[in-house]
Protein backbone atom coordinates (compact mmCIF):
# COMPACT_ATOMS: atom_id res chain seq x y z
CA UNK A 1 0.00 0.00 0.00
CA UNK A 2 2.80 2.39 0.76
CA UNK A 3 4.27 2.21 -2.66
CA UNK A 4 1.05 3.30 -4.27
CA UNK A 5 0.80 6.79 -2.17
CA UNK A 6 0.46 9.92 -4.31
CA UNK A 7 0.61 13.60 -2.90
CA UNK A 8 -2.67 15.54 -3.25
CA UNK A 9 -1.27 19.26 -3.39
CA UNK A 10 1.52 19.84 -5.85
CA UNK A 11 1.80 23.59 -5.04
CA UNK A 12 2.98 23.03 -1.44
CA UNK A 13 5.76 20.80 -2.54
CA UNK A 14 9.20 21.93 -1.38
CA UNK A 15 11.17 23.96 -3.89
CA UNK A 16 14.37 22.88 -5.29
CA UNK A 17 17.67 24.01 -3.74
CA UNK A 18 18.58 26.24 -6.71
CA UNK A 19 15.25 28.07 -6.66
CA UNK A 20 15.51 28.67 -2.93
CA UNK A 21 18.97 30.18 -3.27
CA UNK A 22 17.76 32.66 -5.88
CA UNK A 23 14.96 33.78 -3.65
CA UNK A 24 17.27 34.26 -0.67
CA UNK A 25 19.60 36.48 -2.71
CA UNK A 26 16.68 38.59 -3.86
CA UNK A 27 15.39 39.15 -0.27
CA UNK A 28 18.86 40.05 1.08
CA UNK A 29 19.41 42.69 -1.58
CA UNK A 30 16.09 44.29 -0.86
CA UNK A 31 16.88 44.46 2.90
CA UNK A 32 20.25 45.96 2.24
CA UNK A 33 18.73 48.62 0.06
CA UNK A 34 16.19 49.35 2.82
CA UNK A 35 18.91 49.72 5.43
CA UNK A 36 20.90 52.05 3.20
CA UNK A 37 17.78 54.18 2.60
CA UNK A 38 17.04 54.42 6.30
CA UNK A 39 20.63 55.42 6.99
CA UNK A 40 20.55 58.10 4.32
CA UNK A 41 17.24 59.45 5.58
CA UNK A 42 18.53 59.54 9.14
CA UNK A 43 21.63 61.42 8.03
CA UNK A 44 19.56 64.01 6.19
CA UNK A 45 17.30 64.56 9.18
CA UNK A 46 20.35 64.97 11.49
CA UNK A 47 21.97 67.36 9.05
CA UNK A 48 18.78 69.40 8.80
CA UNK A 49 18.48 69.58 12.59
CA UNK A 50 22.13 70.62 12.99
CA UNK A 51 21.69 73.27 10.34
CA UNK A 52 18.71 74.69 12.19
CA UNK A 53 20.69 74.88 15.50
CA UNK A 54 23.57 76.76 13.90
CA UNK A 55 21.38 79.28 12.21
CA UNK A 56 19.39 80.21 15.43
CA UNK A 57 21.22 83.16 17.22
CA UNK A 58 21.71 83.22 21.04
CA UNK A 59 19.36 85.54 23.03
CA UNK A 60 20.72 86.84 26.41
CA UNK A 61 18.48 87.87 29.30
CA UNK A 62 19.33 91.38 30.63
CA UNK A 63 18.09 93.67 33.39
CA UNK A 64 16.89 97.05 32.21
CA UNK A 65 15.82 100.41 33.56
CA UNK A 66 13.52 102.93 31.89
CA UNK A 67 15.11 106.39 31.80
CA UNK A 68 13.15 109.56 32.46
CA UNK A 69 14.38 112.98 31.42
CA UNK A 70 14.73 115.61 34.17
CA UNK A 71 15.65 119.29 33.97
CA UNK A 72 17.77 119.57 37.12
CA UNK A 73 19.58 117.61 39.79
CA UNK A 74 20.76 118.20 43.33
CA UNK A 75 24.46 118.31 44.17
CA UNK A 76 25.52 117.69 47.76
CA UNK A 77 28.48 120.03 48.31
CA UNK A 78 30.69 120.05 51.41
CA UNK A 79 32.25 123.18 52.97
CA UNK A 80 34.93 122.95 55.65
CA UNK A 81 35.40 125.09 58.75
CA UNK A 82 36.58 124.93 62.34
CA UNK A 83 35.01 124.58 65.76
CA UNK A 84 35.68 127.69 67.84
CA UNK A 85 34.82 128.29 71.50
CA UNK A 86 32.40 131.13 72.04
CA UNK A 87 34.59 132.95 74.59
CA UNK A 88 38.08 132.32 75.98
CA UNK A 89 39.99 134.67 78.31
CA UNK A 90 43.47 134.92 79.77
CA UNK A 91 42.63 136.03 83.32
CA UNK A 92 45.06 138.21 85.29
CA UNK A 93 45.16 140.97 87.94
CA UNK A 94 44.85 144.67 87.16
CA UNK A 95 47.51 145.47 89.77
CA UNK A 96 50.83 143.97 90.71
CA UNK A 97 51.20 141.97 93.90
CA UNK A 98 52.03 138.67 95.54
CA UNK A 99 49.77 135.73 94.70
CA UNK A 100 48.64 134.20 98.01
CA UNK A 101 45.77 131.96 96.88
CA UNK A 102 44.88 130.05 93.69
CA UNK A 103 41.75 127.95 94.11
CA UNK A 104 41.44 126.15 90.76
CA UNK A 105 43.33 123.62 88.66
CA UNK A 106 43.22 122.59 85.01
CA UNK A 107 39.94 120.99 83.99
CA UNK A 108 37.93 122.51 86.87
CA UNK A 109 34.51 123.87 86.01
CA UNK A 110 33.68 127.27 87.49
CA UNK A 111 30.52 129.33 87.50
CA UNK A 112 30.30 133.03 86.79
CA UNK A 113 31.45 135.18 89.74
CA UNK A 114 33.42 132.48 91.54
CA UNK A 115 36.74 133.61 93.11
CA UNK A 116 39.70 132.04 91.32
CA UNK A 117 42.84 133.76 92.74
CA UNK A 118 43.79 136.44 95.31
CA UNK A 119 46.71 138.84 95.99
CA UNK A 120 48.14 140.01 99.33
CA UNK A 121 46.03 143.06 100.42
CA UNK A 122 47.32 143.81 103.93
CA UNK A 123 48.73 147.22 102.95
CA UNK A 124 45.43 148.14 101.31
CA UNK A 125 43.51 147.14 104.42
CA UNK A 126 45.73 149.43 106.54
CA UNK A 127 45.12 152.34 104.18
CA UNK A 128 41.39 151.70 104.34
CA UNK A 129 41.44 151.78 108.17
CA UNK A 130 43.26 155.14 108.13
CA UNK A 131 40.82 156.65 105.65
CA UNK A 132 37.84 155.40 107.63
CA UNK A 133 39.22 157.13 110.76
CA UNK A 134 39.69 160.39 108.85
CA UNK A 135 36.17 160.15 107.54
CA UNK A 136 34.80 159.66 111.05
CA UNK A 137 36.62 162.78 112.22
CA UNK A 138 35.36 164.83 109.29
CA UNK A 139 31.81 163.65 109.89
CA UNK A 140 32.02 164.73 113.55
CA UNK A 141 33.14 168.22 112.53
CA UNK A 142 30.35 168.42 109.97
CA UNK A 143 27.80 167.38 112.56
CA UNK A 144 29.06 170.08 114.93
CA UNK A 145 28.81 172.68 112.19
CA UNK A 146 25.27 171.67 111.35
CA UNK A 147 24.13 171.66 114.99
CA UNK A 148 25.57 175.16 115.70
CA UNK A 149 27.23 176.56 118.91
CA UNK A 150 26.29 175.13 122.28
CA UNK A 151 24.99 177.32 125.07
CA UNK A 152 28.08 176.54 127.08
CA UNK A 153 30.30 177.90 124.30
CA UNK A 154 28.19 181.03 124.03
CA UNK A 155 28.34 181.57 127.80
CA UNK A 156 32.10 181.09 127.81
CA UNK A 157 32.47 183.57 124.95
CA UNK A 158 30.36 186.12 126.81
CA UNK A 159 32.41 185.61 129.94
CA UNK A 160 35.58 186.13 127.98
CA UNK A 161 34.23 189.39 126.50
CA UNK A 162 33.20 190.61 129.95
CA UNK A 163 36.57 189.72 131.43
CA UNK A 164 38.42 191.57 128.67
CA UNK A 165 36.19 194.59 129.14
CA UNK A 166 37.00 194.69 132.83
CA UNK A 167 40.72 194.34 132.16
CA UNK A 168 40.54 197.09 129.58
CA UNK A 169 38.77 199.44 132.00
CA UNK A 170 41.45 198.73 134.60
CA UNK A 171 44.21 199.46 132.12
CA UNK A 172 42.54 202.70 131.12
CA UNK A 173 42.41 203.80 134.79
CA UNK A 174 46.10 202.94 135.10
CA UNK A 175 46.85 204.88 131.93
CA UNK A 176 45.08 207.98 133.27
CA UNK A 177 47.12 207.78 136.49
CA UNK A 178 50.36 207.31 134.63
CA UNK A 179 49.56 210.26 132.44
CA UNK A 180 49.36 212.59 135.47
CA UNK A 181 52.56 211.14 136.86
CA UNK A 182 54.28 211.54 133.47
CA UNK A 183 53.15 215.16 133.24
CA UNK A 184 54.52 215.76 136.73
CA UNK A 185 57.78 214.05 135.73
CA UNK A 186 57.39 211.32 138.28
CA UNK A 187 57.74 208.53 135.69
CA UNK A 188 59.49 208.14 132.46
CA UNK A 189 57.99 208.13 128.97
CA UNK A 190 58.74 204.41 128.70
CA UNK A 191 56.59 203.54 131.69
CA UNK A 192 53.76 205.64 130.33
CA UNK A 193 53.95 203.92 126.89
CA UNK A 194 53.85 200.42 128.45
CA UNK A 195 50.50 201.12 130.03
CA UNK A 196 49.16 202.62 126.77
CA UNK A 197 50.23 199.62 124.66
CA UNK A 198 48.80 197.16 127.22
CA UNK A 199 45.44 198.88 127.00
CA UNK A 200 45.56 198.75 123.19
CA UNK A 201 46.36 194.99 123.21
CA UNK A 202 43.44 194.33 125.55
CA UNK A 203 41.18 196.31 123.25
CA UNK A 204 42.24 194.13 120.27
CA UNK A 205 41.58 190.95 122.25
CA UNK A 206 38.20 192.31 123.27
CA UNK A 207 37.27 192.91 119.63
CA UNK A 208 38.25 189.32 118.73
CA UNK A 209 36.22 187.91 121.60
CA UNK A 210 33.22 190.01 120.59
CA UNK A 211 33.51 188.73 116.99
CA UNK A 212 33.63 185.15 118.18
CA UNK A 213 30.64 185.71 120.44
CA UNK A 214 28.77 187.29 117.57
CA UNK A 215 29.65 184.32 115.34
CA UNK A 216 28.36 181.88 117.92
CA UNK A 217 25.18 183.88 118.32
CA UNK A 218 24.63 184.06 114.52
CA UNK A 219 25.27 180.31 113.96
CA UNK A 220 27.54 178.40 111.43
CA UNK A 221 27.70 179.82 107.91
CA UNK A 222 26.54 177.64 104.99
CA UNK A 223 29.91 177.96 103.31
CA UNK A 224 31.60 176.25 106.24
CA UNK A 225 29.12 173.39 106.14
CA UNK A 226 29.58 173.01 102.35
CA UNK A 227 33.36 172.97 102.72
CA UNK A 228 33.21 170.28 105.38
CA UNK A 229 30.79 168.23 103.29
CA UNK A 230 33.26 168.42 100.37
CA UNK A 231 36.01 167.14 102.64
CA UNK A 232 33.82 164.18 103.62
CA UNK A 233 33.07 163.39 99.96
CA UNK A 234 36.76 163.49 99.13
CA UNK A 235 37.43 160.93 101.83
CA UNK A 236 34.57 158.78 100.47
CA UNK A 237 36.15 158.85 97.01
CA UNK A 238 39.51 157.81 98.43
CA UNK A 239 37.90 154.94 100.32
CA UNK A 240 35.97 153.84 97.20
CA UNK A 241 39.15 153.88 95.12
CA UNK A 242 40.84 151.76 97.76
CA UNK A 243 37.91 149.32 97.78
CA UNK A 244 38.25 148.99 94.01
CA UNK A 245 41.92 148.15 94.38
CA UNK A 246 41.06 145.58 97.01
CA UNK A 247 38.43 144.06 94.71
CA UNK A 248 40.95 144.01 91.86
CA UNK A 249 43.14 141.87 94.07
CA UNK A 250 40.70 138.97 93.49
CA UNK A 251 40.16 137.29 90.12
CA UNK A 252 36.54 136.22 89.60
CA UNK A 253 35.23 134.15 86.71
CA UNK A 254 33.68 136.56 84.15
CA UNK A 255 31.60 133.68 82.76
CA UNK A 256 30.96 130.01 83.45
CA UNK A 257 33.54 127.77 81.89
CA UNK A 258 36.44 125.33 82.26
CA UNK A 259 39.98 126.14 83.41
CA UNK A 260 42.11 125.29 80.38
CA UNK A 261 45.53 126.34 81.74
CA UNK A 262 47.15 127.41 85.03
CA UNK A 263 50.12 129.71 84.40
CA UNK A 264 51.57 130.45 87.89
CA UNK A 265 51.47 129.13 91.47
CA UNK A 266 51.08 130.66 94.95
CA UNK A 267 53.94 132.86 96.13
CA UNK A 268 54.64 134.33 92.70
CA UNK A 269 54.83 138.12 92.43
CA UNK A 270 52.72 138.81 89.36
CA UNK A 271 52.67 141.96 87.28
CA UNK A 272 49.63 143.91 86.17
CA UNK A 273 47.97 142.09 83.26
CA UNK A 274 50.06 138.93 83.61
CA UNK A 275 48.05 135.79 82.78
CA UNK A 276 47.29 133.58 85.77
CA UNK A 277 44.73 131.13 84.29
CA UNK A 278 43.00 130.58 80.94
CA UNK A 279 39.22 130.19 81.05
CA UNK A 280 37.18 128.69 78.18
CA UNK A 281 33.41 129.19 78.19
CA UNK A 282 31.39 126.06 78.89
CA UNK A 283 28.53 126.71 76.48
CA UNK A 284 27.53 125.48 73.05
CA UNK A 285 30.58 125.96 70.80
CA UNK A 286 30.30 127.58 67.40
CA UNK A 287 31.39 126.27 64.03
CA UNK A 288 32.78 128.89 61.64
CA UNK A 289 32.57 127.82 57.99
CA UNK A 290 33.30 129.86 54.86
CA UNK A 291 30.83 129.41 52.00
CA UNK A 292 30.67 130.96 48.51
CA UNK A 293 28.50 134.05 48.18
CA UNK A 294 25.99 132.24 45.95
CA UNK A 295 25.31 129.76 48.76
CA UNK A 296 24.50 132.46 51.35
CA UNK A 297 20.85 132.97 50.20
CA UNK A 298 20.25 129.27 50.88
CA UNK A 299 21.14 129.68 54.58
CA UNK A 300 18.47 131.53 56.53
CA UNK A 301 19.20 132.85 60.01
CA UNK A 302 17.77 130.38 62.52
CA UNK A 303 17.49 127.49 60.04
CA UNK A 304 18.65 124.00 61.04
CA UNK A 305 21.61 122.36 59.27
CA UNK A 306 23.81 119.29 59.74
CA UNK A 307 27.56 119.45 60.33
CA UNK A 308 29.92 116.48 60.27
CA UNK A 309 32.58 116.64 63.01
CA UNK A 310 34.84 113.62 63.11
CA UNK A 311 32.68 110.54 62.66
CA UNK A 312 29.52 112.11 64.11
CA UNK A 313 26.83 114.31 62.62
CA UNK A 314 25.52 117.22 64.73
CA UNK A 315 22.48 119.43 64.39
CA UNK A 316 23.38 123.13 64.19
CA UNK A 317 21.47 126.39 63.95
CA UNK A 318 22.54 129.24 61.68
CA UNK A 319 23.30 131.97 64.23
CA UNK A 320 24.67 134.68 61.93
CA UNK A 321 26.44 135.37 58.64
CA UNK A 322 29.31 137.82 58.69
CA UNK A 323 28.89 140.70 56.23
CA UNK A 324 32.47 140.86 54.96
CA UNK A 325 34.12 138.63 52.35
CA UNK A 326 37.37 136.91 53.29
CA UNK A 327 39.93 138.36 50.82
CA UNK A 328 41.95 135.13 50.80
CA UNK A 329 39.15 132.60 50.18
CA UNK A 330 36.51 134.94 48.70
CA UNK A 331 33.93 133.41 51.00
CA UNK A 332 31.59 134.67 53.71
CA UNK A 333 31.79 133.18 57.18
CA UNK A 334 28.68 131.43 58.53
CA UNK A 335 28.41 131.11 62.34
CA UNK A 336 26.66 127.85 63.30
CA UNK A 337 25.54 127.22 66.88
CA UNK A 338 26.05 123.58 67.86
CA UNK A 339 23.07 121.78 69.41
CA UNK A 340 23.00 118.61 71.51
CA UNK A 341 25.89 117.18 73.57
CA UNK A 342 28.49 119.90 73.17
CA UNK A 343 31.02 118.24 75.49
CA UNK A 344 31.92 115.71 72.79
CA UNK A 345 33.27 118.53 70.61
CA UNK A 346 36.57 120.29 71.24
CA UNK A 347 37.79 123.62 69.98
CA UNK A 348 39.87 123.38 66.81
CA UNK A 349 38.13 120.31 65.36
CA UNK A 350 37.25 120.34 61.67
CA UNK A 351 33.57 120.66 60.78
CA UNK A 352 32.01 120.00 57.36
CA UNK A 353 28.72 121.52 56.29
CA UNK A 354 26.86 119.72 53.51
CA UNK A 355 24.37 121.70 51.42
CA UNK A 356 22.17 120.32 48.64
CA UNK A 357 22.45 122.68 45.67
CA UNK A 358 20.03 122.52 42.72
CA UNK A 359 21.77 122.51 39.32
CA UNK A 360 19.84 123.31 36.16
CA UNK A 361 20.69 120.70 33.50
CA UNK A 362 18.77 118.28 31.29
CA UNK A 363 19.71 114.63 31.54
CA UNK A 364 18.97 111.19 32.91
CA UNK A 365 19.76 109.19 36.04
CA UNK A 366 21.47 105.84 35.41
CA UNK A 367 22.94 103.21 37.73
CA UNK A 368 26.72 103.17 37.60
CA UNK A 369 26.60 99.54 36.45
CA UNK A 370 24.95 100.68 33.21
CA UNK A 371 28.10 102.51 32.05
CA UNK A 372 30.81 101.33 29.70
CA UNK A 373 34.07 103.22 29.25
CA UNK A 374 33.98 104.94 25.87
CA UNK A 375 36.37 107.05 23.84
CA UNK A 376 37.76 110.57 24.36
CA UNK A 377 36.75 110.62 28.00
CA UNK A 378 33.12 109.71 27.30
CA UNK A 379 31.07 106.82 28.56
CA UNK A 380 28.59 104.54 26.82
CA UNK A 381 25.45 102.60 27.62
CA UNK A 382 23.40 99.94 25.83
CA UNK A 383 19.87 100.88 24.79
CA UNK A 384 17.25 98.32 23.74
CA UNK A 385 15.89 98.62 20.19
CA UNK A 386 12.89 96.54 19.13
CA UNK A 387 13.43 94.73 15.83
CA UNK A 388 11.02 92.21 14.24
CA UNK A 389 9.56 91.17 17.55
CA UNK A 390 12.99 90.85 19.17
CA UNK A 391 15.27 93.25 21.02
CA UNK A 392 18.80 94.14 20.20
CA UNK A 393 21.20 96.50 21.97
CA UNK A 394 22.57 99.70 20.55
CA UNK A 395 25.54 101.56 21.98
CA UNK A 396 24.93 105.20 22.98
CA UNK A 397 27.58 107.73 24.10
CA UNK A 398 26.82 109.72 27.23
CA UNK A 399 28.61 112.35 29.36
CA UNK A 400 28.66 111.98 33.14
CA UNK A 401 27.73 115.27 34.84
CA UNK A 402 27.41 114.16 38.47
CA UNK A 403 27.95 111.02 40.54
CA UNK A 404 25.80 110.29 43.57
CA UNK A 405 26.77 107.02 45.22
CA UNK A 406 25.67 104.12 42.97
CA UNK A 407 23.99 106.31 40.36
CA UNK A 408 25.12 108.94 37.86
CA UNK A 409 23.48 111.87 36.10
CA UNK A 410 24.28 111.83 32.37
CA UNK A 411 23.39 113.58 29.16
CA UNK A 412 23.84 112.31 25.62
CA UNK A 413 22.21 110.14 22.95
CA UNK A 414 19.29 108.94 25.06
CA UNK A 415 15.55 109.55 24.74
CA UNK A 416 12.83 109.79 27.33
CA UNK A 417 11.25 106.38 28.08
CA UNK A 418 14.00 104.24 26.50
CA UNK A 419 15.12 101.02 28.13
CA UNK A 420 18.78 100.91 29.13
CA UNK A 421 20.66 97.79 30.20
CA UNK A 422 21.40 98.23 33.91
CA UNK A 423 23.46 95.09 34.64
CA UNK A 424 25.91 92.83 32.80
CA UNK A 425 27.01 95.25 30.10
CA UNK A 426 30.39 93.48 29.89
CA UNK A 427 28.66 90.46 28.24
CA UNK A 428 27.15 92.45 25.40
CA UNK A 429 28.27 93.67 22.02
CA UNK A 430 26.43 96.05 19.71
CA UNK A 431 23.39 94.44 17.95
CA UNK A 432 23.35 91.59 20.47
CA UNK A 433 19.88 90.03 20.76
CA UNK A 434 18.57 90.24 24.29
CA UNK A 435 15.50 89.46 26.31
CA UNK A 436 14.58 92.09 28.92
CA UNK A 437 13.94 90.46 32.25
CA UNK A 438 11.61 93.24 33.14
CA UNK A 439 9.37 92.20 30.15
CA UNK A 440 9.39 88.48 30.90
CA UNK A 441 5.95 87.11 31.76
Could you tell me if residue 296 is inside a domain?
A: yes
pLDDT bin (cut points 50, 70, 90) of residue 388 is: confident
Instruction: Tell me the pLDDT of the chain averaged across its residues.
Output: 82
Q: Which residues lie closer than 8 Å to 100 by C-beta, 6 or more apart?
A: 118, 119, 120, 266, 267
Could you tell me if residue 141 is inside a domain?
A: yes
Closest of 384, 375, 389 to residue 430, by C-alpha: 384
Burial 19-56 (b: 16+ CB within 10 A, else e): eeeeeeeeeeeeeeeeeeeeeeeeeeeeeeeeeeeeee
Specify whether 274 is located in the same domain as 240.
no
Specify whether 234 is located in the same domain as 260.
no
Specify whether 305 is located in the same domain as 253.
no
Choose one of 334, 359, 384: the last residue of a domain. Answer: 359
Q: Which residues lie closer than 8 Å to 398 by C-beta, 6 or more apart?
A: 366, 371, 378, 379, 380, 381, 410, 411, 412, 413, 414
Q: What is the CATH classification number for the domain harbouring 434?
A: 2.40.420.20
Specify whether 319 is located in the same domain as 334.
yes
Is residue 379 scored above 70 in pLDDT?
yes
Query: Do the Cβ atoms of 217 and 116 come closer than 8 Å?
Result: no
Greater model confidence, 156 or 334: 334
Is residue 440 scored above 60 in pLDDT?
no
Q: Which residues lie closer than 8 Å to 30 by C-beta, 6 or more apart?
A: none
Could you tell me if residue 27 is inside a domain?
A: no
Query: Which residue range(s) make up the domain with 197?
Result: 125-244
pLDDT tens figures, 98-154: 999 999 999 999 999 999 999 999 999 999 999 999 999 999 988 887 876 667 777
pLDDT at 11: 40
C-alpha–C-alpha distance, residues 328 and 223, integer Å:
69
Is residue 188 scored above 80 in pLDDT?
no
Q: Which residues lie closer than 8 Å to 371 by C-beta, 6 or more apart?
A: 379, 380, 381, 398, 400, 408, 425
Read off the pLDDT of each residue in 59-66 and give the average, rounded to a whole number.
Answer: 90
pLDDT bin (cut points 50, 70, 90) of residue 240 is: very high
Specify whether 316 is located in the same domain as 416.
no
Q: What is the CATH classification number for the domain harbouring 276?
A: 2.40.50.100
Overall domain count for the chain: 4
C-alpha–C-alpha distance, residues 366 and 323, integer Å:
41
Choose one of 330, 359, 388: the last residue of a domain. Answer: 359
Choose one of 292, 326, 359: the last residue of a domain. Answer: 359
pLDDT at 22: 47
C-alpha–C-alpha distance, residues 361 and 408, integer Å:
13
Q: Is 317 helix (H, G, I), strand (E, B) or coil?
A: strand
Q: Please state whether 376 falls in left (phi above 0), alpha (psi between -120 and 50) or beta.
A: left
Q: What is the CATH classification number for the domain harbouring 307?
A: 2.40.30.170
Could you tell me if residue 334 is inside a domain?
A: yes
Q: Give backbone dihedrals phi and psi of 19, rounded to 5 degrees, phi first.
A: -65, -40
Could you tell me if residue 4 is inside a domain?
A: no
pLDDT at 279: 94
Q: Which residues lie closer than 8 Å to 76 by C-beta, 6 or more apart?
A: 354, 355, 356, 357, 404
Specify whether 133 is located in the same domain as 202.
yes
pLDDT at 342: 61
CA angle 425, 427, 432 (to 5 degrees): 90
Specify whether 142 is located in the same domain as 173.
yes
Read off the pLDDT of each residue in 72-91 and give the average, rounded to a whole number.
Answer: 88
Specify whether 175 is located in the same domain as 193.
yes
- The DSSP line for 332-393 is EEEEEEE-S-GGG--TT-EEEEEEEEEEEEEEEEEEGGG-EE-STT-EEEEEEEEETTEEEE
Read off the pLDDT of each residue in 39-64 and give the average, rounded to a whole number.
Answer: 60
CA angle 127, 133, 137 (to 5 degrees): 145
The rounded percent of the chain whose pLDDT value lies above 90 is 46
pLDDT at 100: 96
Q: Which residues lie closer than 8 Å to 421 by C-beta, 6 or more apart?
A: 62, 63, 64, 370, 381, 382, 383, 384, 393, 428, 434
pLDDT bin (cut points 50, 70, 90) of residue 238 is: very high
What is the chain's length? Answer: 441
Could you tell me if residue 99 is inside a domain?
A: yes
Specify whether 317 is located in the same domain as 415.
no
pLDDT at 394: 93
Lowest-confidence region among 63-67, 156-160, 332-336: 156-160
Specify whether 366 is located in the same domain as 348.
no
Q: Which stretches of 70-121 are DSSP H helices? A: none
pLDDT bin (cut points 50, 70, 90) of residue 254 is: very high
Specify whether 131 is located in the same domain as 237.
yes
Closest of 360, 363, 361 to residue 412, by C-alpha: 363
Is residue 47 scored above 90 in pLDDT?
no
Is residue 192 scored above 90 in pLDDT?
no
Is residue 233 scored above 80 in pLDDT?
yes
pLDDT at 128: 95
Is residue 291 scored above 90 in pLDDT?
yes
pLDDT bin (cut points 50, 70, 90) of residue 35 is: low
Read off the pLDDT of each residue in 270-280 and give the average, rounded to a whole number.
Answer: 94
Could you tell me if residue 297 is inside a domain?
A: yes
pLDDT at 135: 95
pLDDT at 299: 92
pLDDT at 3: 37
**Contacts for 239-243: CB closer than 8 Å, 24+ residues apart:** 239/128, 239/131, 239/132, 239/135, 242/124, 242/127, 242/128, 242/131, 243/128
The rounded percent of the chain whose pLDDT value lies above 70 is 83
Lowest-confidence region among 29-33, 175-179, 405-409: 29-33
Could you tell me if residue 434 is inside a domain?
A: yes
pLDDT bin (cut points 50, 70, 90) of residue 37 is: low
Specify whether 177 is located in the same domain as 316.
no
Amino acid sequence: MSSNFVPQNKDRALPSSKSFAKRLVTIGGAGLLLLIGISIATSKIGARSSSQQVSTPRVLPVETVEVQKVDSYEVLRSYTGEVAEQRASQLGFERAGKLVWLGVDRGDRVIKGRAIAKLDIRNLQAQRARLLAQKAQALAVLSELKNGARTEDIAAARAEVSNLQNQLELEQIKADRRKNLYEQGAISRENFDEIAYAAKALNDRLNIARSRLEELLNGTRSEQIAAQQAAVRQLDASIEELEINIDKSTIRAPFSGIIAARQVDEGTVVQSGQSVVRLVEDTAPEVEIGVPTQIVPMLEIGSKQTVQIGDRAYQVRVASILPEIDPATRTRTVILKLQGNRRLVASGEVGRLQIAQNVKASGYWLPTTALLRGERGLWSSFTLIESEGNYRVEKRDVEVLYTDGDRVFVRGMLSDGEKVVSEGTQRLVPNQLVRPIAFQE
